[in-house]
Chain A
């Protein structure tokens, strides 16, 4: 019993550690005073000025554009790659999986710098270089999420479908796809998470004029804290909470049906 209560308290402390900073930002986003500690009454004016602020809104749009493009493309390339890798012989498989691990394990700063050094030899830094960089660290997450599902998928059912006259594409869609779909989806989610939160790699591969939220905030934070940033935090937190709740709800509904 004591152990149980102790456990709950410990959970509470960690939960507080994770969410207290976010709570502070949420509260300050409605604070009428610019002070960081005194409450000056309720206001929504920081939200209004955030939506009117071009720097913030441009960076927000750019972040969405890069994150969505990169994670969708990465999911396609990565899923195809995983199917190909699974069909390979042992050696080819080992080499490709080894290479896939490089961007995951290497330091972000080194990945970013090495890509920048390569890119500047051939082209100007800009949107496309950031996109290539994001794809490079997103694809491995998709592959590593899809491969285990492919290994679990039944080969004999697929081969039976082929023997019974299904085209490879139809057999794949009807038999393999349902098995690997959760892996593809979680790979896609991880790609979004990583793209959304990346700073270092974007910082080194972006050109002037291209700013994601992370790089914009890095520049702005060094100039000083503006209350619009609290409003931005609250907005981002709200979006993240809503999206994750929807996905959680959907997956729990699916579980209920399966049970």
Chain B
């Protein structure tokens, strides 16, 4: 009797899910598979094959992969180093990486505009050293740079958490039994942190793939990602059906990348270790 009552506490949330999670997705699907007169068509979805859309999608995939790779390469050793410090206050580490996030995202991008622009700080330093100026702003590299800066905490924190959960006894036991540093890493640390790596990859890859603001502000309108194309369909061309169709394609890519990562995660048994 009592248990039955307790479930009702999630009642408001169930209504919320139906109204504001499920219904919007159904709406975007409805727009995506109809034309402006409301009759069924798949043209909006197949519009992804148009050269300009395809180019944007491929560029998005490329930059998102680069960004994820850089974040992973930077984060993994960082998490290991942080973990080896054996800080008493683990929350301090979280604090350092969350603090920039409390300052507005736009202002962080603004800072990179200042650093990377043609007459900006980096180029002034280069000039002072007698080196040639670099065209940094308004290039795909600037966009990747901004993405790495913005999404790095999402990679560091899950890996660091996974490392913190490894019991030192396990590592000590392996060493006692004669494992080399490399073996300890490959046989213990890597398998036990792979779940953190996977959630990090998902948390970085998806926003990087779908971002449109960073490319807009650091790419100067010259770097057109799939997110920019969708945003323009809605805000400038007012073609909601086309925008929805392309959004569905984007969603398919998001779901596919997550399914891919999760499948590989469970193969290696990382997700279900504890």
Q: How many A-B residue pairs have CB under 8 A?
A: 227
CA separation between A218 and B24, bound complex, in Å?
Answer: 25
B:214-245 near A, CB below 8 Å = 216-217, 227, 230-231, 234, 240, 243-244
A50 an interface residue at 8 Å Cβ cutoff?
Answer: no
B213 an interface residue at 8 Å Cβ cutoff?
Answer: yes
B254 an interface residue at 8 Å Cβ cutoff?
Answer: yes
B54 an interface residue at 8 Å Cβ cutoff?
Answer: no
Q: Does the CB pair A84–B10 fall under 8 Å?
A: yes
A:1-51 near B, CB below 8 Å = 7, 10-11, 14-15, 17-22, 24-25, 28, 36-37
Q: Does the CB pair A110–B250 fall under 8 Å?
A: yes
Give the Cβ gap from B176 to chain A, nearest Cβ, in Å: 21
A257 an interface residue at 8 Å Cβ cutoff?
Answer: no
Contacts A22-B100, A108-B210 given; does A136 touch B8 at CB 8 Å: no
A200 an interface residue at 8 Å Cβ cutoff?
Answer: yes
B36 an interface residue at 8 Å Cβ cutoff?
Answer: no
B22 an interface residue at 8 Å Cβ cutoff?
Answer: yes
Q: Specify which chain B residues have a CB less than 8 angstroms from the CB of A218 in the assembled complex.
A: 106, 213, 217
- A109 partner, pick from B81, B106, B202, B227, beta carbons under 8 A: B227
Overall SS of chain B's interface: helix
Q: Which residue of A lies closest to B77 (CB)?
A: A10
CA separation between A7 and B85, bound complex, in Å?
Answer: 10
* Chain B 9-22: CB-based contact to A (< 8 A → 1; otherwise 0): 11111101100111
Q: Does the CB pair A37–B100 fall under 8 Å?
A: no
B:98-115 near A, CB below 8 Å = 98-115
Q: Specify which chain B residues have a CB less than 8 angstroms from the CB of A77 in the assembled complex.
A: 12-13, 16
Contacts A197-B105, A204-B234 given; does A221 touch B217 at CB 8 Å: yes
Q: Does the CB pair A107–B207 fall under 8 Å?
A: yes
Give the Cβ gap from B177 to chain A, nearest Cβ, in Å: 22
Contacts A36-B114, A36-B121, A81-B10 given; does A109 touch B210 at CB 8 Å: yes
CA separation between A114 and B254, bound complex, in Å?
Answer: 15
B160 an interface residue at 8 Å Cβ cutoff?
Answer: no
Q: Does the CB pair A248–B111 fall under 8 Å?
A: no
Q: Does the CB pair A117–B16 fall under 8 Å?
A: no
- A114 partner, pick from B100, B124, B209, B247, beta carbons under 8 A: B247
Q: Which residue of B lies closest to A213 (CB)?
A: B104
State the interface size on chain B (CB cutoff 8 A).
80
Interface size class of A (residues with CB under 8 A): 35 or more
A103 an interface residue at 8 Å Cβ cutoff?
Answer: yes
Q: Does the CB pair A115–B24 fall under 8 Å?
A: yes
Contacts A21-B111, A217-B110 given; does A109 touch B103 at CB 8 Å: no
CA separation between A115 and B20, bound complex, in Å?
Answer: 7
- A84 partner, pick from B13, B78, B92, B100, beta carbons under 8 A: B13
Q: Which residue of A lies closest to B3 (CB)?
A: A87
Q: Does the CB pair A85–B10 fall under 8 Å?
A: yes
Q: Specify which chain A residues have a CB less than 8 angstroms from the CB of B247 in the assembled complex.
A: 109-110, 113-114
B189 an interface residue at 8 Å Cβ cutoff?
Answer: no
Contacts A96-B10, A229-B107 given; does A10 touch B227 at CB 8 Å: no
- B28 partner, pick from A113, A229, A232, A239, beta carbons under 8 A: A113
Chain A residues with a Cβ under 8 A of chain B:
7, 10-11, 14-15, 17-22, 24-25, 28, 36-37, 77-78, 80-85, 87-88, 92, 96, 99-100, 102-103, 105-111, 113-118, 121, 132-133, 135-136, 139, 143, 162, 168, 193, 196-197, 199-200, 204, 213-214, 217-218, 221-222, 225, 229, 232-233, 236-237, 239-241, 243-244, 248, 251-252
